[in-house]
Amino acid sequence: MAQDRPRDVTDASESARPHARVEAVRAVVYDDGGEFIPPEELDDALEAAGVTVSVGDDGIPKYSDVPPSLSLSACHLAVELRKDPAEIVADPGHVVADGGE
């Protein structure tokens, strides 16, 4: 996804820091009780975070207005795998899908 591409390593903004990226994803994927949201509620949670969610002619969801610190891939992986975003977000712009060995 375009918004998940690595940024220039000279970008020292808060949104480029791994901790900020993890917190941004956590704010989307956990409910008020600290539990993972169900996968079918992810688009609503993304919209609540300011992301515009629509569906293309091909039936595939389209996302726009994504905040720089929010990784859509990490949101989807965290909800689907039921893993804390800190286990998924390795560094800015890099998502580890399986945490493999």
pTM for the model: 0.72
Q: pLDDT of 25-60, one tens digit each?
A: 999 999 999 999 999 999 999 999 999 999 999 999
Q: Are 95 and 74 in contact (CB under 8 A)?
A: yes
**Number of neighbouring beta carbons within 10 Å of residue 67:** 12
**pLDDT at residue 9 in the model:** 44
**pLDDT at residue 89 in the model:** 85
- The span from the first CA to the last CA of the chain, in angstroms, equals 25
**pLDDT at residue 17 in the model:** 79
The whole-angstrom separation of Cα 3 and Cα 10 is: 17
**pLDDT at residue 44 in the model:** 96
